[in-house]
A and B are shown apart, each in its own frame.
Chain A
Amino acid sequence: MSYRLAADVGGTFTDIVLLNDDTGVYETTKVLTTPDALEKGILKGFDELAGDKYGQITSIVHGTTSGLNSVIERRGAHCALVTTKGFRDVYEIARANRPEIYNIRYHKPEPLIPRKDIYEIDERVSFEGTIEKKVTKEMMREVIVALKGKYDSVAVCLINSYANTKNEKEVCRILEEELDEGTIITASHEIAKESREYERVSTSVLNAYVAPSTRRHVFALSEELLKRGFGGTLYMMQSSGGVIRAEMASSTAVYTLMSGPVGGAIGASVIDRENIIGFDIGGTSFDVSIVVNNRMETTVEAEIEGFPVLAPTVNVFSIGAGGGSIAWNEAGGMRVGPQSAGAAPGPVCYGRGGEKPTLTDANLVLGHMSPEHFLGGRMQIDAEKTMAAFEAYGRQFGLDAEAAAEGVCEIANHKMADAIRELTVKRGIDPRNFSILAFGGAGPMHAALIAEMLDIKEVIVPANPGVFSAWGMLHADIRHDTGHTKVCLLSSLTEEDFHQNFAELKKELDEVLLKEGLQNEERNYICALDMRYFGQEYTISVDIPDETVFDREEIEQAYSDIYERLYGHHSPDNIVELVNYRMTVLVPVNKAAVKRRLSDSPAEPVGTLQGYFSSKKYDIDIYARECLVTGRKISGPAIVTELTSTTIVPPGWELTVDEADSMVMRRGNGGTEDGR
């Protein structure tokens, strides 16, 4: 037997999935995250599921929000930055913009490296890549003295280094020679070989800031796994949705910063539907990802805590609406969120001191969750206090408790539906042609109601929705991305340049794979060109299906088509400009399908409760998920409970369990007209 393991390390819980590659059967568990030494929590979970099988495990993949948290909490490494003379303050000045336009006390994000730790070298490269002042050891003497023995990690980002890497390479070489062994050096051109100095320096600094702790973590985890007899490969999840060998991840740590929420998006991309809107509703946020034609959407630039990051990142959009969102009254208007009761004090119904009604509480009042089955009955729910909170809240608007709760729920659902509509329409996508995939604790509770608002016909709730993100990670391909800036008009692009640029990128990627120990494995390359109309700043990425064929007209046509789809117009008279070449390599991993579960016993409700949909009172059947095996069918209104999640089947909806053990909900003929 051979197995694979995945761990999704969140802020509170670490979710673990063990997959048997031969049978497709998997087991899951949830353990508490151990922030001070992440490997402890991870290993506890691993031991629980695979204590006796470490020798049979071929690979382990894990994603973590710990790097991100260390940025948020400013717990990263003591770093320095080395840059070109005259530009010490580029990092602090940033783009000088002020996103909160009425806030006279707005603060830019606090720099991760203070000014005193930023050093200048008197070198210069021109925008064309000409070296005007060469780097010498002599000019670095003072900087070396200042750096030696004082920093764990050093970022190097010189002006115009994207156009010629020579000076930057030389600075790094000298630093490696002169500084203590173990000092991590981040070269900006290795992290992001793109134009725009602030965005590049920001990315490099973030990398320098999290690299030491990533390295420590990988080292500690590998060592413990080795002790337990694990002989396979340890991978880390990257923000791009691909995995990388863990020992390589420490030098490109910034690529793993947003790896927490991507597991769900990967999972969504392997579900048997072409077009999916995947979402997860947690305590404080609603996270959405979009899969079009089986491909998850990635962006080439993301933002972390206000700092730009030039790194391919799966698009996961968050809005501040979750179970903990507080319902409040502003001048007689009903408002829900974005303030959240969080985990402490939490919703009123948790009985931990929360006084303000939340979305979770509204679901309880409406009978959309079963108090005795919540978290497998492990959590005591204070229904009486919750009811009282909603009575008081409703009174302010002349509503009874149920109507107020339904209002809160509806306002939140509409907010989430609006967010999905903005995201899809912005991309020229019609959400009605998509299926919703709902996971996480509360996603399946709201999914069908949100689907109604968007006129979406199908909602899928996968097996084990509470650990879906970890399951998704098991399906991540090995992935590397590269790109470089070569600005030229499309009309003057030569076939030779086109081939040469992609050939260079391919060579770069193959070298990375070789470093990773992959020589002859099957691989797929995805090529793209970032283009814009001459005069624009933002670019659009256009896939080049076959980089060995150069067809300028086809490239231009593809660009116009995408432009038209996104903005409803394009400008055939305008000149198209090519900005960046990009290439991604994917080395596929096994995709083990989830096996169906069979049973002879019929699906019987385990109880009923009274609840509300569209202001009508219903007797709602409660089902246990384990009894809903492949082929079973139930009709709403119903609730399906399982340890980590609750699914709502509204009146007029039907639920069937498919071959992959997913619950598929569709609106029957008797469905309500809209979300109201």
Chain B
Amino acid sequence: MADRVNPIVVEIIRNAVNSAAREMNSCLIKSAFGPGIYEMKDCSVGIFDREARLLGQSSGLPIFLGNLEICIQIVTDKIGLGGYRKGDVFVMNDPYLQGTHAADITVFSPIFYEGRLEGFSAVRAAMQDMGGKNPMGCSDSTEVYQEGLRIPPVRLCSEGKICEDVMDLLTINSRYHAMMRGDLNACISACYTGETRMGELYRRYGTKTVQEAALEIFRQSELLDRQAVAAIPDGEYFAEGCLDNDGITQEERPLKVKVTIQGEEMTIDLSGSSKMGIGPINCGEAQTIAACRVGYKEVINPESQVSGGTFRNLKVIVEKGSFLAAEEPAPCGWYFTGLGLLIDLIIKALAPVIPQQAAAAHYGDSNVILFSGYDSIRKKQFAICEATAGGWGAYDGGDGQNGMINVVNGDLKNWGIEFIESKYPLRILSYKVRPDSEGAGKYRGGLGLERTYRVETEEECNLMLWVERSKTTAWGLLGGHAAQAPDVVVNPGTPEEKHYLKTNMLPVKKGDIIKISTGGGGGYGDPGERSQKAIESDIENGYLTLEHVQRLYRR
């Protein structure tokens, strides 16, 4: 006890580091140029110690959780701690190193205090476009080289000065040079903000005290996690599902999860899952681990702050050659599709032993719709890419939510109708919930959504779709049913009507109508036990039709 830092100081430092991370985050969000960051909050920030252990973070995208440190570690391994200079800023996006895909950029900078390296501040943020064969991404890549510029760790700033040649090299490869430059500037400024705030903390308490406090913070997180895992009965728990396909070939892509609880330790073993795909469903191992951490965190102390001590009792096993441990040159553009499924499967596996913390599956995939081409109204190129919301899973005591964004997208917001119509050559004809799309249950799953677009440009317009989870739709728990699958239909009700889930650069023309419907969430418990009052309200509000209720809820 004697050499332990005063618990009061530990707590003050813990709060202060998280406050510093929040400040970095607001600096990034407010000054970013790309809507991916400012609107969708497709970003994450963290402050780390010298050994790349997390001191504090500000929540952003959950799947970015816990893989910023690996980026720092990679650079440290390469140049050594002595290789950093004050004011250096590194940038990288290599999917095989950091996981994720080309559009996600990691920017980090060493934190120096009184001439000594003390730690790092890091940012992960989504860029609007990183080059690649189609604007804002494609659904039919077969090699990473088609997906945009691949950046190994390089210095974006050297001793406080922007390396303009590197900056030019990066931004010239994006279709939106100025936006990318603005976003990178925002990232740099966020990193420096972290250094400034940490400097104040070192000045006040001394670096040694901050280091010792960090160890105590790690100890607290680790202890909490170990207690929570120990409370789950020992055993092996299984769940599996599949992706519809890899976007190129038609075969299903199974994903298998085995969760082993042994005392205070949890192991998530993904052996037996599909081999790498030809199409872009592959995911770098670093990101697979991060996704397992999200699933873990959803049931293990979801309320408590993450630190360098969190996840120490979590082990992840991924087979070499698996699509969840992508290797060059496997395409990784849609790496997150498998992760949405993976996170829900972890919960499903554990549901029988922790029903109080579990929920049925959600609709599961970003269901991305992208229009690009030439806007004849505004006389310029355009591209708009949207992830769509769907139904969430029910749980013991509550229905799932209607129309909410999928787990890997965190706090992402939908695009407003007036925003789209005023900026892009598209008309929104309707935006509504999709009745009867839920997984039935004592507590029912949430409903999917339906959005209908009409193309307004007289020039070229192409549609890209990446809509998944039509085969493993959101499952139910404890007798709850699975939900409806997603669907996209072009020109519904006409002789040319055609259904799609994935397509790349499909030409569409002025007046064409595209309706995207997303899946619902899974139900919880036997639908026959749903309360009469809840059913009446569902019918009165038009969420469920009478016929559907009679058939599935046995009334």
Contacts and interface: CB of A to CB of B under 8 A. Distances in A.
Interface of A: 85-90, 92-93, 95-99, 101-108, 114-116, 126-127, 159-160, 162, 195-198, 330-336, 397-399, 403, 406-407, 410-411, 414-415, 418-419, 421-422, 425-426, 487, 533, 535-538, 563, 566-569, 571, 573-574, 674
Given A87-B430, A198-B416, A333 B11 contact: yes
Interface string B6-45: 1110111011100100110011001111110011000000
B51 interface: no
Interface in B336-358: 347, 358
A97 to B, nearest CB: 5
Contacts of A126: 421
B401 A537 contact: no
Nearest to A198: B416
A385 B186 CA distance: 53
Given A102-B297, A126-B421, A537-B38, A411 B404 contact: no
A103 B302 contact: yes
B16 A414 contact: yes
Given A426-B23, A571-B185, A127 B418 contact: yes
B507 interface: no
B35 A537 contact: yes
Contacts of A335: 11
A487 B432 CA distance: 28
Contacts of B26: 422, 426
B395 A93 contact: no
Contacts of A568: 27, 189, 192-193
Interface string B180-205: 01100110010011000000000010
8 contacts: A87-B417, A96-B413, A97-B411, A101-B61, A160-B418, A411-B12, A568-B27, A569-B31
B541 A421 contact: no
B70 interface: no
Contacts of B227: 331
A398 B3 CA distance: 13
B30 A567 contact: yes
Contact of A115 (B39, B401, B542): B542
Given A197-B416, A198-B416, A568-B189, A102 B430 contact: no
Contact of B8 (A106, A127, A410, A674): A410
A102 B407 CA distance: 8
Contacts of B393: 104
A102 B421 contact: no
A159 B392 CA distance: 27
Given A86-B431, A411-B12, A415-B15, A98 B223 contact: no
A538 B417 contact: no
A228 B449 CA distance: 57
B219 A332 contact: yes
Most buried by A among B31, B34, B217: B31
Nearest to B306: A102
Contacts of A334: 7-8, 10-11
Given A92-B433, A536-B38, A571-B181, 17 more contacts: A93-B432, A93-B433, A101-B411, A115-B541, A116-B540, A127-B418, A159-B418, A160-B421, A331-B223, A333-B11, A403-B8, A407-B8, A533-B33, A533-B182, A568-B189, A568-B192, A571-B178
Contacts of A535: 33-34, 176, 178-179, 182
B430 A93 contact: no
Interface SS, A side: loop
B185 to A, nearest CB: 5
Given A92-B403, A96-B389, A333 B7 contact: yes
Given A196-B419, A533-B33, A97 B8 contact: no
Contact of B432 (A86, A331, A566, A573): A86
Interface in B273-307: 294, 297-298, 302, 304
Q: Size range of the interface on B?
A: 35 or more
Contacts, number: 213
B410 A98 contact: yes
B166 to A, nearest CB: 17
A117 to B, nearest CB: 9
Contact of A90 (B30, B398, B431, B541): B431
A150 B67 CA distance: 55
B195 to A, nearest CB: 12
B298 A104 contact: yes
Contacts of A331: 219-221, 223-224, 227
B401 A107 contact: yes
A159 B417 contact: yes
B411 A397 contact: no
A451 to B, nearest CB: 15
A334 B216 CA distance: 11
Nearest to A413: B12
Interface string B309-349: 00000000000000000000000000000000000000100
B429 interface: yes
Nearest to B34: A535
B432 A425 contact: no
A338 to B, nearest CB: 11
Contacts of B392: 104, 106
A410 B11 CA distance: 10
B6 to A, nearest CB: 8
B404 A108 contact: yes
A240 to B, nearest CB: 22
Contact of B404 (A96, A114, A115, A563): A96
Contacts of B395: 104-105
A573 B180 CA distance: 13
Contacts of A563: 31
Given A90-B431, A333-B217, A104 B347 contact: yes
A114 B541 contact: yes
A85 B429 CA distance: 9
Contacts of A104: 298, 347, 358-359, 362, 392-393, 395, 407
B245 to A, nearest CB: 26
Contacts of A87: 417, 430-432
A102 B178 contact: no
B543 interface: yes
B298 A86 contact: no
Nearest to A335: B11
Contacts of A89: 403, 431-433, 449
Contacts of A566: 30-31
B144 interface: no
Contacts of B405: 96-98
Contacts of B262: none
Contacts of B189: 567-569
Nearest 9 pairs between A and B by C-beta? A86-B430, A407-B8, A96-B389, A567-B31, A127-B421, A95-B413, A418-B19, A115-B541, A331-B220
Contacts of B35: 537
A114 B414 CA distance: 21
Nearest to B203: A674
Contacts of A196: 416, 418-419
